[in-house]
Homo-oligomer: A and B are copies of this chain.
Amino acid sequence: MKRRALLAPAAALLATRGLAGCATPAVAPAGTGDLGVVIQRARGALAIVNTSSRTLLAEVPGLGDLSHASVVFSRDGANAFVFGRDGALTRVNLLAQRIEARVQQAGNSIGGAICADGTLVAAQNYAPGGIKVFDARTLALVADIPAYQMAASHEPERRAAPSSGGATPEGAGAEGAGGRPRSRVVGLVDLPGRRFAYALFDADAICIADLSDPARPQVTRFDGIGRQPYDALLTPDGRHYIAGLFGEDGLALIDLWQAEPKARRILAGYGRGEQPLPVYKMPHLRGWAVAGRHAYLPAIGRHEVLVVDTQSWQEVGRIAVAGQPVFVIARPDARQVWVNFALPDYHRVQVIDTLEQRVVRTLEPGRAVLHMEFTPRAEAVWLSARDDHRVLVLDTQSFATLASLPVDSPSGIFFTARAARMGF
């Protein structure tokens, strides 16, 4: 990144904030609703961006291994919580443009979530497998909830046999209790009411941790949900938690609104199939897949996007696309779905019109398009073109390029508006 391009807006912002000196700021203080961050993996840094002026504001280095990093935001939008692959959890203040807290919380981590009231941040860990929950203000550890490969068999409260997909309370206490081996955790999302849902890759299970009383987390476990859940999504209404399965076809769904939630299998045809195709990159699942009454899911290994009815959870269509889809993301107004691709097609991006249910535009915005993020009211989309070292801002109506910002090897893009959405 060119330092000059970066420093001018950063200085302007500091002046705006009134942090640069003693004088009453001449310019009105600005808010955080239009800020965001771009992951710069190779530099272990974040670029802070403004989506109104479409500018780079600052770079914050010192974040360690940011491969597969993800970010959530504080309720006020001023703080980004960065989950690094190396197990570090870092809080970056976007206004001060600096790291304000950092803990090395695990050896290998793959994302996290923040609860609705903003008090608790949870990290999902591969090693040691489990989730850890932190005070969002101090990053002090609040709860350490290990995930085991085998469900505890001694709890008297067990409500359903593991094989039925029913719920079981899970011992959340002593680490390594009973010598059970740990499971990697994936698909962590926030649920209403200081709860988190997540899936256990090595245990074929889904767990819900309730931290209403943070000192006594209550974990409910659903076993036998299907082999090797590898990622999950929460529908935007917080009702359905859906885990993709790596070890077999289909997905596992829990309707969280039911009094006695149960896991069930949907979309038996979804997956790699009986004769697995080479999969260049496992697609990601998140709540952005839902556009109106349909979910748009990346087919695994196939050049297709599946259209799923969210009432019946049946497949109702397939749309041919230009490669193996990685991110299939609904524009926030649900009128379009944008798709990027795995190697060798990741110079392309396609736009599906949800009314016509077909691809209406194929774009080639740059080399190695790794991620896309929409502005909250859908007028623009930001794209990372890693090998061009550019972040591009496109008008979602005209497809015109509104800005092209120099960023060193950009990958994930995250805007503060995520703070107002569940399951992000």
Contacts and interface: CB of A to CB of B under 8 A. Distances in A.
Contact of A96 (B29, B118, B190, B193): B29
A34 B193 contact: no
Interface stretch (A17-25, A37-45, A224-232, A275-283): A17-25
Interface string A361-397: 0000000000000011111100000000000000001
B76 A34 contact: yes
Contacts of A95: 28-31
A7 to B, nearest CB: 19
Interface stretch (A151-159, A340-348, A415-423): A415-423
Contact of A30 (B76, B293, B376): B76
Contact of A32 (B33, B96, B193, B376): B33
Given A18-B17, A52-B76, A193 B379 contact: yes
Contacts of A420: 33, 376-377, 417, 420
Contacts of A187: none
Given A29-B78, A33-B32, A335-B237, A377 B292 contact: no
A403 to B, nearest CB: 12
Nearest to A376: B420
B17 A422 contact: no
Interface residues on A, range: 35 or more
Contact of A192 (B25, B51, B100, B378): B378
Contact of A24 (B19, B335, B378, B397): B19
Contacts of A311: 293
B377 A422 contact: yes
Interface string A72-83: 011111110000
B32 A77 contact: yes
A420 B333 CA distance: 11
A31 B377 contact: no
B78 A31 contact: yes
Each complex incorporates copies of this chain amounting to 2
A238 interface: yes
Contacts of A94: 31
B93 A28 contact: yes
A52 B118 contact: yes
Contacts of A75: 33-34, 51-52
Contacts of A77: 31-34, 77
Interface string A233-247: 000011100000000
Contacts of A213: none
Nearest to A194: B379
Contact of A31 (B76, B116, B397): B76
30 contacts: A17-B29, A18-B18, A19-B29, A21-B22, A22-B22, A28-B78, A28-B100, A29-B78, A29-B95, A30-B95, A31-B31, A31-B78, A31-B79, A31-B95, A32-B33, A33-B33, A33-B74, A33-B419, A52-B76, A52-B118, A77-B77, A116-B375, A116-B377, A190-B377, A193-B379, A193-B397, A239-B334, A257-B355, A293-B293, A420-B420
